[in-house]
Amino acid sequence: MSKQVIVIAGPSGSGKNAIISRILERYHNGVRLVTATTRVMRPGEVDGVDYHFFTQERFDQELSAGHIPEHRFVPALGTYYGIYTPDLDKHIKAGKIVYAQVDIEGARLLKERYGATTIFIMPESIEQFRGRLRSRNPEWSQKELDARMKITENELRVHAPEYDYRVVNADGKLSETIDDVIEIMRKEGYTLS
């Protein structure tokens, strides 16, 4: 049976979004996993496309019903995020490959329940990555940059080894990185069309 759920994870700024977008442009049998959140919709966002925007009450109901088997609370934002399985199951039934951009907890769940292959996108080096974050977010203070770098270093040290594959996305090498991801998917039994 062809595999249908793939996790593409990595620190913020690693290029995982760009990789998923390019693969979705190239192959039309894929879809992004849309997770649930209690945060307020931002201008330009669409419910069911960017996130499933739930009130706290609805989120709690879906949680109780077992529709959100994995979730996390972000204290700094006062917000919950979680994998919403009715949507995921609908895409699987339709024969789609679902691209999930989730953290390590989400990756474990999707591997266990859906047989997902998990790929972690790595920066070439910590120094190069710090430069990339700095140029992408010039408004960040040194303190904020340091805090983000600490999270990234932790992800690289603690979580990255848990993924099935680690792929380096070096600066200026996005298309090679995408080819590497596609090669892994083919090897793992995903049917790209």
pLDDT digits 0-9 by tens, 37-90: 999 999 999 999 999 999 999 999 999 999 999 999 988 789 999 999 999 999
Residue 1 has what pLDDT? 62
| Residues contacting residue 118 through CB under 8 Å, at least 6 positions apart | 6, 7, 9, 107, 110, 111, 162, 163, 164, 165
Query: Angle CA(81)–CA(86)–CA(91) in degrees, nearest 5?
Result: 105
Per-domain boundaries in the chain: 1-33+96-193, 35-83
Query: How far is 118 from 166, CA to CA, in rounded Å?
Result: 9
> Of 77, 41, 25, which is closest to residue 192 (Cα–Cα)?
25
Helix (H, G, I), strand (E, B) or coil at 75: coil
Q: Which CATH number fits domain 1-33+96-193: 3.40.50.2300, 3.40.50.850, 3.40.50.300, 1.10.8.420?
A: 3.40.50.300
Instruction: Tell whether the model's pLDDT for residue 163 goes beyond 90.
Output: yes
CATH code linked to domain 35-83: 3.30.63.10
By three-state DSSP, how is residue 15 classified?
coil
Provide the residue type at 150 as one letter. Answer: K
pLDDT at 12 over 90: no
- pLDDT recorded at residue 128: 86
Nearest to 115 by CA among 138, 139, 88: 88
> In angstroms, what is the C-alpha Rg of the chain?
17
Q: Tell me if residue 72 falls in helix, strand or coil.
A: strand
Q: How far apart are CA 92 and CA 88, in angstroms?
A: 6
Whether residue 14 contacts residue 167, with contact meaning beta carbons closer than 8 Å, is answered with: no
Is 14's pLDDT higher than 80?
yes
